[in-house]
Amino acid sequence: MALLSGAVLALPGTAAHAADTLISQGRTVTASSVENGGTPAAYAVDGNTGTRWSSAASDQQWIQVDLGQSATISKVLLQWEAAYGKAYQIQTSADGTTWTTVYSTTTGAGGTETLNVSGSGRYVRMNGVTRATGYGYSLWEFQVYGSFGSTPPTCDTANAAQGKAATASSTENAGTPASAAVDGNTGTRWSSAAADPQWLQVDLGSVQQLCQVTLNWEAAYGRAYQIQTSADGTTWTTVYSTTTGAGGNETLDVSGSGRYVRLYGTQRGTGYGYSLWEFGVHTGGGSTVPPVQGGGDLGPNVLVFDPSTPNIQATVDQVFAKQESNQFGTDRYALLFKPGTYNNINAQIGFYTSIAGLGLNPDDTTFNGDVTVDAGWMQGNATQNFWRSAENLHLKPVSGTDRWAVAQAAPFRRMHVEGGLNLAPSGYGWASGGYIADSKIDGQVGNYSQQQWYTRDSSIGGFSNGVWNQVFSGVQGAPAQGFPNPPYTTLDTTPVSQEKPFLYLDGSDYKVFVPAKRTNARGTSWGAGAPQGSSLPLSQFYLVKPGATAATINQALAQGLNLLFTPGVYHVDQTINITRPDTVVLGLGLATVIPDNGVTAIKVADVDGVKMAGLLLDAGTVNSPSLLQVGGSGPGADHSNDPTVIQDVFVRVGGAGAGRTTAGMVINSNNTVIDHTWIWRADHGAGVGWDVNAADYGMLVGGNNVLATGLFVEHFKKYDVEWSGNGGRTIFFQNEIAYDAPNQAAVQNGTTKGFAAYKVDNNVTSHEAWGLGSYCYFNVDPTIVVDHGFEVPNTPNVKLHDILVNSLGGNGQFNHVVNDTGAATSGTSTTPSNVVSYP
């Protein structure tokens, strides 16, 4: 049964096992959260039934104990306080990252539960799934019983820190550097400034299992200090703590793992600083976690062509035949073309397919032919041509005009079309897109039936007609401002832009180019020659391939590697944590990340310059608080010089199957740039229904001075976008209110009818947006009314330009456009109600 299911290996009982020895008391313990400073995790293993650990008041909380070495586990005792777990698991792990469930229940009764289990591991955790009360999880005691092997692992006598890179919070002078504490010479020393706190840390080069730390103090020692470990040099775990340090030579037995080890001093023993002749770190007591390797091949779903490759057309046709109508399938492809000239090519692009050139400049890779998206699979209707992309190619269309008839999540980036570009399907059927950036179209862009479109930092030969909402920023050749007739919103420049990182060939070596940030940008980033930016070798990337685990991905990040997701679908059981400034995370072929157990799929710390692009985040069946979180719980540091940029990162809730999340994206880092996203609560496909793919908010913005360029958000149950940070700007917003509301009561917002599509909170004093559109189509109850599509505070520095609402076929209506301004929609004519400027 264990081999087949691995789910429930034991049932609770009271019979004692002969080998039942308490092995967890006093061990290192960590938890997902604590209620407050008086309920730390350590209180659950201190043997005192009058102290307790308690978590935050939310589900998906855990507490885990490090036994110091692998043990055979025979029993777990949970002594609950009144706030207990109704559904929880007992899990074991050899490394603290990959877990095996040895007990599971959905009917926990609280009190004292004695669970006879069978398993082994160094780490044991209680993984809470559902609380029984409105409080958190709370344990007086968490006791693990079992036995260790007869011969405990030995501690290596060699000093793993010697000769490694060391840094410190300060140095007393140039003669006492951090490196002197790890040089093996007891006649040299590190000493700090005479202040608290101070620290010294060493980088071991890879994640190691630690068993001992030795401190050879000079006369200026630490009275209160901690020994801490970290996988990434940012998030620290305390493995030893004292307030009675005596100086001299101290040998400390510790248990933990990490790449970085630091002494963190909080109280000096003298009036001088902290001073160490030697800082020793010893490893052993468990297996060393091997480092993740960077570089390698691009995986099975990346097809690379050069001009001599045989049967190129047949190969791309095979991919298209598989992907043309594969809207919710799991296949993912990237078609990459080396620099050169390709003749007689018509690459038709279906779902989850990316096509790109591998030159540093689009003109390095020339097609005497086309890259085509049409809508034959949907009888000429292009409104569902999602999730595909074209990048970094020079096209010479056979007919003189290339066809790119797409809807949302289908970027056209860094392209040179030597001719025209038709955005409509053949037959000029319905179309609902789309996005162009950093591209040069020599001829005219034919908008035709596209309801809305956004073009950024490009050069075009002209633009024909418009339907409801066509927006341009930084576009040479853009039509003049004309909203609402014609429906053009034109900004001369884009305030901040940084083009998407891309894979290219430097000779025979793959590299990732990271373009430089531009301010007040206009035109392409590459038209004047070599683009500005930096190149990163593939050896600095962990190439994520199908089968990769979140634990390995996080280990790679902790080692300082960037991430290149090859085409595939990746299920993660823990949050992917990006904590290093300027980390690059790039997906190929719409690589898809799905959280399996209610975690946030990806979190970005409040650091400078993270670049994330080319991913689809798909909600799992257990509700996640969000699928992407950037920053902490609120605004932090100023990142204006080196902002985090999120590009072509799409969110989906439902469609491929039931999924749930409270919010799609949460953006709390200041100065973040969101450049083209589609955040979609599915209105069709599998797992769709008002209470099936439940999701309240599309995007919540708490950071200050956040910029969104090309923002598509649709169908969420409450606000599709809610902005609480100051200084926000949006250039182009496309929205559809949730179709499937069962009745007016389901969307009643206090005394207000319906939730606005775009809400700026009352506390916000500055915000500006251009080219915004929201549509309603209540197909379950067409009598539903929304009071206003946009809701903002009435203050001089909150300004909206070129705004519209529309009722599609009269299925529901808007009473106003912004607040109580703007005429109501009415009838079935699908005619927008417009406001040119507010206030």
Residue 129 token pair: 């799934």
Taking residues 752-775, what's their average pLDDT?
98
Q: How confident is the model at residue 8 (pLDDT cuts 50, 70, 90)?
A: very low
- For the cut 60, the answer to whether the pLDDT of residue 11 exceeds it is no
- Which residues, other chains included, contact 310 with Cβ-Cβ below 8 Å and sequence gap of 6+? none
Q: How confident is the model at residue 147 (pLDDT cuts 50, 70, 90)?
A: confident
Amino acid 368: pLDDT: 98
Q: How confident is the model at residue 50 (pLDDT cuts 50, 70, 90)?
A: confident
Q: Where is average pLDDT lowest: 204-218, 363-377, 426-440?
A: 204-218
Please give the Cα distance from 388 to 535 (Å, whole number): 25
Please tell me which residue, 243 or 482, carries the higher pLDDT value: 482
Q: How confident is the model at residue 104 (pLDDT cuts 50, 70, 90)?
A: confident
Residue 340 token pair: 């050169």
Taking residues 539-556, what's their average pLDDT?
93
The two counts, helices (H) then strands (E), for the chain are 2, 60
Please tell me which residue, 121 or 317, carries the higher pLDDT value: 317
Largest CA distance in the chain: 88
- For the cut 60, the answer to whether the pLDDT of residue 786 exceeds it is yes
- For the cut 60, the answer to whether the pLDDT of residue 3 exceeds it is no
Residues in the chain: 839
- For the cut 50, the answer to whether the pLDDT of residue 760 exceeds it is yes
Residue 361 phi, psi (nearest 5):
-125, 140
77 - beta bridge partners? 114, 143
Q: How confident is the model at residue 286 (pLDDT cuts 50, 70, 90)?
A: low
Please give the Cα distance from 88 to 32 (Å, whole number): 14
Please confirm, yes or no, whether 722 is among the known catalytic residues: no
- For the cut 90, the answer to whether the pLDDT of residue 47 exceeds it is no
**Per-residue b/e over 279-298, b at no fewer than 16 CB within 10 Å?**
bbbbbbbbeebebbebeeeb
- For the cut 70, the answer to whether the pLDDT of residue 702 exceeds it is yes
pTM for the full predicted model: 0.74
Please give the Cα distance from 833 to 839 (Å, whole number): 16
Please give the Cα distance from 791 to 818 (Å, whole number): 6
pLDDT tens digits, 578-610: 999 999 999 999 999 999 989 999 999 999 999
pLDDT tens digits, 500-524: 999 999 999 999 999 999 999 999 9
Amino acid 153: pLDDT: 55
Please give the Cα distance from 601 to 10 (Å, whole number): 31
Which segments of 668-716 are extended strands (E)? 673-681, 697-701, 707-714
Which segments of 132-196 are extended strands (E)? 138-148, 165-168, 190-191
Taking residues 728-755, what's their average pLDDT?
97
Q: How confident is the model at residue 9 (pLDDT cuts 50, 70, 90)?
A: very low
- For the cut 80, the answer to whether the pLDDT of residue 133 exceeds it is yes
Comparing CA positions, the residue from 118, 126, 25, 115 lying closest to residue 67 is 25
Using an 8 Å Cβ cutoff, are 677 and 714 in contact? no
Using an 8 Å Cβ cutoff, are 33 and 61 in contact? yes
- For the cut 50, the answer to whether the pLDDT of residue 19 exceeds it is no
Taking residues 8-18, what's their average pLDDT?
32
Amino acid 618: pLDDT: 98
Q: Where is average pLDDT lowest: 140-149, 151-160, 223-232, 663-672?
A: 151-160
Taking residues 143-156, what's their average pLDDT?
73
Residue 360 token pair: 């540093």
Residue 113 phi, psi (nearest 5):
-115, 125
Taking residues 94-101, what's their average pLDDT?
80
- For the cut 50, the answer to whether the pLDDT of residue 234 exceeds it is yes
Comparing CA positions, the residue from 676, 681, 614 lying closest to residue 652 is 681
- For the cut 50, the answer to whether the pLDDT of residue 109 exceeds it is yes
- For the cut 90, the answer to whether the pLDDT of residue 118 exceeds it is no
Amino acid 685: pLDDT: 97
Amino acid 16: pLDDT: 33
Please tell me which residue, 243 or 338, carries the higher pLDDT value: 338
Among residues 113, 218, 391, 736, the one annotated as catalytic is 736
Q: How confident is the model at residue 455 (pLDDT cuts 50, 70, 90)?
A: very high
In this prediction, what percent of the chain has a pLDDT beyond 70?
96
Which DSSP string do the residues of 501-563 spell out, in sequence order?
Answer: PEEEEETTEEEEEEEPEEEEE-S-SSTTSSPSEEEEEGGGEEEE-TT--HHHHHHHHHTT-EE
Q: What share of the chain is helix, strand, coil (3-state, %, to 5)?
A: 5, 50, 45
CA neighbours closer than 13 Å in the CB half-sphere of residue 75:
16
